[in-house]
DNA sequence: ACCAATTAAATTGCGTGCAATTTAATTGTA
DNA sequence: TACAATTAAATTGCACGCAATTTAATTGGT
């Protein structure tokens, strides 16, 4: 090839893309026990921190829009994990809140990050660097 | 919350997941000019390096299986970018090769990584670190 | 108070990803 | 040489992601 700039191994986005999918693949067996997909697990992570949150705020937190969230939240509601309610103050807003079942899932979920980290042999230093760089990237994106 | 281990900001996989999607979002306007999706662009990157490759080998390179690749390659074939041919030596194998149009797209594509890097203000050091850590992660995954 | 502009979700449509299964070809072994 | 085991793609089915549009509610300016 004329110039190496188009070589797969010289791209930054490809390893990011590939690593993300391989990571979520490692989560899958852990999440299967809770009958959750990875994005659904992320929704629960947010709700365990902040129960009762609007779809919009949830979307801002996870960088997802209503086109993704609405059907996903409906599936989670059908499973009895959460409740979707129109806000009384502003009828445009839908608020999401955990059910008892959704709250109880947190206990089980505590095992997941631990088990996950056990099989990820990144040393402490790389782990910290990776988080720092990704956080920087996401900051820049939020600003722009 | 009882323990911080479930906090979204303490997860490593979430920023990876979010950053990947934000990065591909930045590619989109660039790829729109070539009428390509990001995964399709990845397929072309491989083919520009190695024209004529089996679906299996392509999948190993991109960490994708036939369930994803077959319909995607068919769409790309319909667009006239590549040709899918059953191997004569082994009829199970389908080989993918660029058409003239697919080859010519490389010239246009050269602009893409440059334009992309211009809007990604990661400093050199972070960029190198990120690539190194992601490569390490992917190596570990391939081994296991 | 009117009404255009804005905003939040929902909807539509399409392209991935991927597990699981199926189909067809090849290989290894008795 | 049969034929079970393996292998490569294709197929099926479901859950995202996201652009674009629509619907319904609210806000802001006159």
Residue A77: which domain range? Answer: 24-110
DSSP state of B33: T
pLDDT band of residue A140 (cuts 50, 70, 90) is confident
8 Å CB contact between B122 and B130: yes
For residue B109, give Cα distances in angstroms to A9, A13, A36, A85, B44.
Answer: 16, 15, 39, 47, 10
- A33-63 in b/e form (b: 16+ CB < 10 A) is eeebbbebbbbbbbbbeeeebebeebbebbb
Residue B60 lies in a domain: yes
Q: Residue A78: is its pLDDT beyond 70?
A: yes
Mean pLDDT, chain A, integer: 93
Residue A124 lies in a domain: no
CB atoms within 10 A of CB A2: 9
Contact B20 A38 (CB under 8 A): no
Residue B53 lies in a domain: yes
Residue whose structure tokens are 């939020």: A142
Residue A55 lies in a domain: yes
Residue B87 lies in a domain: yes
Nearest nucleotide, CA A68 to C1': D17
Q: With beta carbons under 8 A apart, name residues in chain B contacting A143.
A: none
Tell how far CA A113 is from the center of its chain. Answer: 13
Residue whose structure tokens are 């409906």: A74
Residue A19 lies in a domain: no
Mean pLDDT, chain B, integer: 93
Q: Using CB atoms, which residue from A11, A63, A114 is nearest to B18?
A: A63
- Which residue of chain B comes nearest to A110, CA vs CA? B6
Residue A141 lies in a domain: no
Mean pLDDT by 10 residues, chain B (144 residues): 76 95 95 97 97 97 98 98 97 98 96 87 90 91 70
CATH value at residue B67:
1.10.10.10
Residue A144 lies in a domain: no
pLDDT in tens, B11-23: 899 999 999 999 9
If phi > 0 it is left, if psi is from -120 to 50 it is alpha, else beta; for residue B34 that is alpha
Q: How many domains does chain A have?
A: 1
The pTM score is 0.94
The pairing of strands B53-54 and B94-98 is antiparallel
């Amino acid at each position: 090839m004329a110039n190496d700039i188009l070589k797969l191994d010289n791209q930054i986005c490809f390893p990011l893309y590939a690593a993300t999918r391989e990571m979520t693949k490692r989560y899958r067996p852990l999440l299967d026990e809770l009958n959750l997909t990875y994005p659904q697990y992320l929704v629960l992570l947010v709700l365990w921190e902040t129960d009762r949150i609007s779809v919009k705020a949830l979307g801002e937190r996870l960088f997802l829009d209503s086109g993704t969230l609405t059907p996903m939240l409906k599936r989670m509601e059908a499973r009895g994990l959460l409740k979707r309610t129109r806000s009384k103050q502003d009828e445009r807003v839908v608020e999401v809140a955990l059910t008892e079942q959704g709250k109880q899932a947190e206990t089980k979920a505590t095992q997941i990050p631990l088990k996950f980290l056990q099989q990820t042999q990144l040393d402490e230093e790389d782990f910290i660097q990776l988080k720092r760089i990704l956080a920087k990237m996401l900051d820049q994106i939020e600003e722009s």
